[in-house]
Amino acid sequence: MKHTISVLVENKFGVLSRVSGLFSGRGFNIESLSVGETIDPAVSLMTIITSGDDRIVEQITKQLNKLIDIIKVVDFMEIDHVERELVLIKVSPRKTDKAEFLKIAEIFRGRIIDSGTQTFTVEITGDEKKIAAFIELIKPYGIKEFVRTGKVAIAREGLKKK
């Protein structure tokens, strides 16, 4: 089962390595991890996508909580939330396919952020399903490069339990 875990940490050096070391040392999975400063520059937020059965995920959240530099751990599994990921894709469609490609990008509300003689770079954000669907559709146009940020998540108003 996939879990999205949000981890509020002290913005100190070595914290990322404490977290990643915990995952590797105890054999937990990391599917993606993204980190950034919060409004308070002394605090960073990590969003970790991991998987495991209930017991493993319970251990993951407890073990994270045990690290001294970690302020708060939230497993979004129990919370109504929205998730987004940003992907940049460089595509080189044939001349005849360009219009069609741009149309697809537009349908997915992708933005062309760079274009040259050979390639377009498209920026797309969305949840897992949307991004997966987009990638599937544009594969035939020739993906040259592909980069994604990893998911971030935020709770909906009221932190209502599902």
Partner 1 sequence: MKINGSKILIECLKKEGIKHIYGYPGGVVLNIFDHLYDEKSMELTLTRHEQAAVHAADGYARASGKVGVAIVTSGPGATNTVTGIATAYMDSIPLVVFSGQVPTMLIGNDAFQEADIVGITRPCTKHNYLVKDVKDLAKTIREAFHIASTGRPGPVLIDLPKDVTTGMAEFVWPKHVNIRSYNPTYHGNRWMIKQSIQMISKAKKPVIMAGGGVILSGASKELKELAEKAKIPVTMTMMGLGGFPGTHKLSMGMLGMHGTYYANRAIQGSDLIIGIGVRFDDRVTGRTESFAPDAKVIHIDIDPTSIRKNVDVDLPVVGDVRNVLTDLLAEMKKHKEQWGAVRSSWLKQIDRWKKERPLEYRFDKKIIKPEFVVEKIYEVTKGKAIICTEVGQNQMWAAQYYKYDKPRTWLSSGGLGTMGYGFPAAIGAQMACPDETVFDIAGDGSIQMNIQELATAVINKLPVKIAILNNRFLGMVRQWQELFFNERYAHTDLDVTPDFVKLAEAYGAVGLRATTPDEVVPVLKESLKVKDKPVMMDFVVDWKSKVYPMVPAGAAIDEMIFDEEKKKPEKKLRTVK
* Position 69 contacts partner 1 (CB under 8 A): yes
Enumerate the β-bridge partners of residue 17: none
Q: Provide, rounded to whole angstroms, the least separation between the CB of residue 67 and partner 1.
A: 8
Q: By CB under 8 A, is residue 78 in contact with partner 1?
A: no
What is the smallest separation between the CB atom of 127 and partner 1, expressed in angstroms? 30
By C-alpha distance, which of 73, 136, 71, 74 is closest to 104? Answer: 136
CA distances from 22 to 61, 63, 64 (A): 11, 8, 8
From 5, 45, 49, 70, residue interacting with partner 1 (rule: CB under 8 A): 70
CA distance 38 to 35: 9
d(CA 31, CA 67): 21
The contact mask relative to partner 1 for 28-67 (x = CB under 8 A, - = no) is ---------------------------x--xx--xx-xx-
Tell me which residues touch partner 1 (CB under 8 A).
9-10, 14, 17-18, 21-22, 25, 55, 58-59, 62-63, 65-66, 68-71
